[in-house]
Amino acid sequence: MDETAALQTALTFSLDGERFAIPVAHVNEIIDPLPITRAPNADPFAPGLVNVRGAIAPFVDLRRRLGMAPADLGETSRVLVLDLVIDGEPTKVAMLADDVDEITDAAASDLEAVPELGVRWPTHLIRGVARQDDALIILLDVDAAFAPTPS
C-alpha cells in the first residue's frame, strides 16, 4: 500500500477552542484531572508531576508550548496520559485537554501543509492540518510538541 494513502487513527481534543489531534497509538488513557505536584525550578512547559495509578508522570502544559493562555479546569477537562519516547526512553506523560472529542481516521494524503502566515502556533510543532466537517484539525508532531525545552 502506498504510504501516503495510509490511514492514521488519531484522538482529537480541544485547547482554547481549537481542535488538535494526536496519534491514538500514543494515548494510554483518558482520565479526570489530577492534582499536580509543582516541581521547584521546573520548566514552565513541564511544571510538575502527577500520580497516575501509582506511576509518577511529568505533567506538561501543551498550551504554554503552543503560546496559549493558561486554562481553568472545566467540566469537560480531561487528562491525556501519553506513552512517548523522550530522549530515547519510554516515558508516560500527562497533559490537560479542555475537552476530548473523538477518535477519527485520516489519510496521510489528506493532511495539508501548515501555512507560514496566519497560524498562531509554532509551525514546527505541527505535522499538518486536516479538514473534517467544515472544521480544521491540527495534527501535532508528537516528537517536537513534547520534547524537553533545550537548556
Residue of 78, 71, 121 lying closest to 97 (CA atoms): 78
Instruction: Name the β-bridge partners of 93.
Output: 82
Whether 151 is in a domain gets the answer no
Q: What is the CATH number of the domain that holds 140?
A: 2.40.50.180
Whether 97 and 59 have beta carbons less than 8 Å apart is answered as no
Whether 150 is in a domain gets the answer no
Torsion over CA: 66, 72, 74, 78 (sign): positive
CA distance 126 to 18: 13
User: Phi and psi dihedrals of 148, rounded to 5?
Assistant: -60, 150
Position 35 scores a pLDDT of 93
Mean pLDDT of the chain: 86
Q: Give per-10-residue mean pLDDT for the chain (151 aa).
A: 60 93 95 93 89 93 89 91 92 95 79 68 83 84 85 55
Position 84 scores a pLDDT of 94
Position 3 scores a pLDDT of 44
Whether 34 is in a domain gets the answer yes
Whether 43 is in a domain gets the answer yes
Whether 123 is in a domain gets the answer yes
pTM, full prediction: 0.86
CA distance 55 to 87: 19
Residue of 141, 113, 106, 110 lying closest to 7 (CA atoms): 106
Whether 82 is in a domain gets the answer yes
pLDDT digits (tens, 9 = 90+) for 107-140: 666 777 776 666 677 888 888 888 877 788 889 9
Domain that holds residue 31: 3-145
Whether 64 is in a domain gets the answer yes
Position 1 scores a pLDDT of 38
113: left (phi over 0), alpha (psi -120 to 50) or beta: beta
Position 85 scores a pLDDT of 92
Output the nine-digit C-alpha cell for 130.
486536516
Number of domains in the chain: 1
Return the DSSP state at 114.
P
Whether 79 is in a domain gets the answer yes
Position 4 scores a pLDDT of 42
